[in-house]
Structure 1
Amino acid sequence: MIRTAGRLNGIGEYYFSQKLREIDSLNKAGKAIINLGIGSPDLPPHPEVVKVLQEEAAKPNVHAYQNYKGSPVLRKAMADWYQTWYGVTLNPETEILPLIGSKEGIMHICMTYLDAGDQALIPNPGYPTYSSAVKLAGGEAVSYELVEALNWEPDLDALEKTDLSRVKLMWVNYPHMPTGQVPSAAFYTKLIAFAKKHAILICHDNPYSFILNKTPSSLLAIPGAMEVVVELNSLSKSQNMAGWRVGMLAGAKDRIDEVIRFKSNMDSGMFLPVQLAAAKALQLGADWYESINTIYRQRRELVFDLLDQLKATYNKEQVGMFVWAKIPASFKDGFAMSDAILYGANVFLTPGGIFGSAGDNFIRISLCSPEEKLREAKTRVEAIINSTGQTNF
């Protein structure tokens, strides 16, 4: 019998991969599910970005393997983008590494730095891939709980009282997904001091800083951060290029060189026309970000209305392309509420528990659906509530 590798023990299929199959089956049965779960932008990239891709792809000399460090054009565009929007100066030759999506960067970092017995701190709630990547790399994922009372920021004082001797990495993500919490400057400064004191590499995942956020920020802007921080960023959300798979890793030259040692053995670069189109996308001005945020702002109001129907509570100041909400007491947990709405109203909302136990009493709604779909979802939920006279269906 052929068996899977031991590294897959305890690693389940990604929740959305599994749930989308179920939703597909329901659709085939005629249910016409409205999926408000996944944060995949339904809006297209800027027309000029698509134009660059088309024009470059038509050239005969762009189809070869590419530089493992990415096109110099793209690296410069990434460095300029960091300077323009975050006030962070990066050397495009040595401190930027283009990625085939930032999700692969999570795996690259874990494989580069973690050995068996090493630990990585993982946020709870947080992106499930952090934990999976740590385990696949042979490390041990140690969760740190985030709570609303502390503005969804880690209690670094409490962490200091734990055994950190085997901790090599700490994953953080602000603006935070799934809660939409914006980081405080005081937290960033304290985090850098914490990392230096304990020789921990902070891995900051930063794909949501432009979505409904008036003050995009980078952890690398904090003095001393380059010594202990690597930062992932992405064009998936802010440039509507999720399927294009373009991300980046920013950090000190030594860190970039170390990750390249692993990454260069995993792929042979990114299609050059995609890189050149991505460079164009990074040159877009403030009017681009405002145009997409205007749409998300209007959609968010409809999501707030839907959550009011469900008697869920939420913070109107959260940012990003989701709305995080606490479920009413009439439901056991977010999974129960999600399933009740899915099977009762043919609307899918993400249960907060997939992001960790600290999210059990929450749900998350994506803003990546047009207004007509959000209105229809609201109508369906309202019909179920009216027919049953209750919000737990």
Structure 2
Amino acid sequence: MIQKANRLKHVKEYYFSKKLREIAGLIAEGKPIINIAIGSPDLQPPSNVIKALKSTMQLENAHKYQSYQGIPEFRLAIANFYKKHYNVALNPSNEILPLMGSKEGIMHISMAFLNKGDKVLIPNPGYPTYTSVTKLVEAEPLFYNLNEKNSWLPNFQEIEKEDLSNVKIMWVNYPNMPTGATASKLAFEQLIAFAKKHNILVVNDNPYSFILNNSPQSILEVKGAKEIAIELNSLSKTFNMAGWRVGMVVGNAELLKTILQVKSNMDSGMFLGIQKGAVEALKLSANWFKKQDAIYNKRRLLVWKILDALGCTYDTTIGGLFVWAKLPKGTKAEEFTDILLYKKDVFITPGTVFGINGEGYIRASLCVAEEVLEEVLTRVTPVNH
């Protein structure tokens, strides 16, 4: 047998990759599993986006390699979107780098800036990919705690007690996944001040701005943020384009130039039709977000009922594509979700997927039709309820 690389010794297969394979097996056995765990939008992209994709097929250059930096029209659409919705001015020629999904950007950024042994500040709970990619590039994760008491925001007094001398990158993610928490402008200002003090590159992963959230924010709104921070963003959640794999990293031109050194050796440009569709999505008015939110609001009401039936508590003031809920005291997350899966045929995410601070919590997705959520509610509601 050819031995796998040492870098994989401390990297597990992504939880959902493994679990979905198990669920596929259960379904093949005839189990009527309902999945309310995954944040993959089930709604359709805007019709004009589909139209733009289709019409591009007939263009003479549609099927050729495209620019590593995306077409100028796409970069300009991103710049206009950031100015309109975040009040952030970006130079479309050198402060915007389109990506094949923001997940790709996590790898590119890590490869561009991290050496073996460098440390990376990673939120706990947080998106598991931050940790796995850090390990893949042989850097060292340094977890910082997020908790309910501190509104799921970094505790800088606690972080300052760590040895930060070799920290190169700090991952932040607001609106937060999995908790849905948002960061105030003051919190972003504190982040930027902390990063400048320790010369740490801050990367805000920002794909959830427009879902059940009336105040979209970018970390780049903070004065001086471009000196030390960049931002990942995506069309996956906002415009129901997860499978299209289209996003961007924005910020300091020199930092993006460094990321491009990696990216240009990893792919050969994004399909033109996807870029043309993305341009149309980014031009949409606020009505698009309102229509989406109306659907997600109805679904969230049902998810809250499901969580009530399960004896959980949750914060009704928090938006986002998921509901983060606290289990009854003393309940273990993975034991609880396995019981739901094997006894009720319902798959929900245990909070421990996102770190040890996720113990005692579960996360439910709003990417599920109302009638399906109604069925889940029927399955989990006690007979004598």
1:330 Cα deviation after fit: 6.0
* Deviating more after overlay: 322-331 vs 278-287: 322-331
Amino acid at match of 2:162: T
The residue number in structure 1 matching 2:219 is 219
Change (3 A) 1:362 1:115: same
TM-score by length of 2: 0.99
Hey, what's the Cα distance between the residues in 2 that align with 1:202 and 1:61? 38
SS in 1 for 2:143: strand
Question: Is 2:281 the counterpart of 1:287?
Answer: no
Hey, what's the Cα distance between the residues in 1 that align with 2:350 and 2:256? 36
SS in 1 for 2:171: strand
Amino acid at match of 2:28: K
Amino acid at match of 1:381: V
SS in 2 for 1:122: strand
CA contact under 8 A between 2:330 and 2:360: conserved in structure 1?
no
Amino acid at match of 2:203: C
Amino acid at match of 2:221: A
Which digits, 9 at most, give the CA deviation of each residue in 1:56-80, with x for residues without a partner? 1132321111111111010000010
The residue number in structure 1 matching 2:355 is 356
The residue number in structure 2 matching 1:29 is 29
SS in 2 for 1:77: helix
1:132 Cα deviation after fit: 0.6
Amino acid at match of 1:32: P
Which digits, 9 at most, give the CA deviation of each residue in 1:295-333, with x for residues without a partner? 0011000000000001100000111100000011363x1
Runs of 4+ in 1 over 2 A off after TM superposition: 58-61
Hey, what's the Cα distance between the residues in 1 that align with 2:330 and 2:161? 37
Hey, what's the Cα distance between the residues in 2 that align with 1:308 and 1:124? 26
Describe how 1:1-393 pairs up with structure 2 within 5 A.
1-329=1-329, 331=331, 333-382=332-381, 385-386=382-383
Structure 1, unmatched stretches of 5+, are: none
1:381 Cα deviation after fit: 0.9
Cα RMSD of the aligned pairs, angstroms, is 1.0
Give the length in aligned residue pairs. 385
Structure 2, unmatched stretches of 5+, are: none
1:157 Cα deviation after fit: 1.5
Hey, what's the Cα distance between the residues in 2 that align with 1:161 and 1:143? 13
SS in 1 for 2:367: coil
Hey, what's the Cα distance between the residues in 2 that align with 1:160 and 1:314? 30
SS in 2 for 1:171: strand
TM-score by length of 1: 0.97
1:171 Cα deviation after fit: 0.2
Hey, what's the Cα distance between the residues in 2 that align with 1:302 and 1:100? 33
Amino acid at match of 1:288: W
Amino acid at match of 1:289: F
Identity of aligned residues (%): 52
Which digits, 9 at most, give the CA deviation of each residue in 1:166-195, with x for residues without a partner? 000000000000000011221111111000
1:223 Cα deviation after fit: 0.4
Amino acid at match of 1:105: G
Hey, what's the Cα distance between the residues in 2 that align with 1:54 and 1:291? 24
SS in 1 for 2:340: helix
Amino acid at match of 2:361: F
Amino acid at match of 1:324: W
Amino acid at match of 1:344: K
Which digits, 9 at most, give the CA deviation of each residue in 1:137-171, with x for residues without a partner? 11101111111000000101211122100000000
Amino acid at match of 1:220: L
Amino acid at match of 1:307: L
Amino acid at match of 2:164: L
Which digits, 9 at most, give the CA deviation of each residue in 1:229-266, with x for residues without a partner? 01000000001000000000001110110000111000
Hey, what's the Cα distance between the residues in 2 that align with 1:2 and 1:28? 32
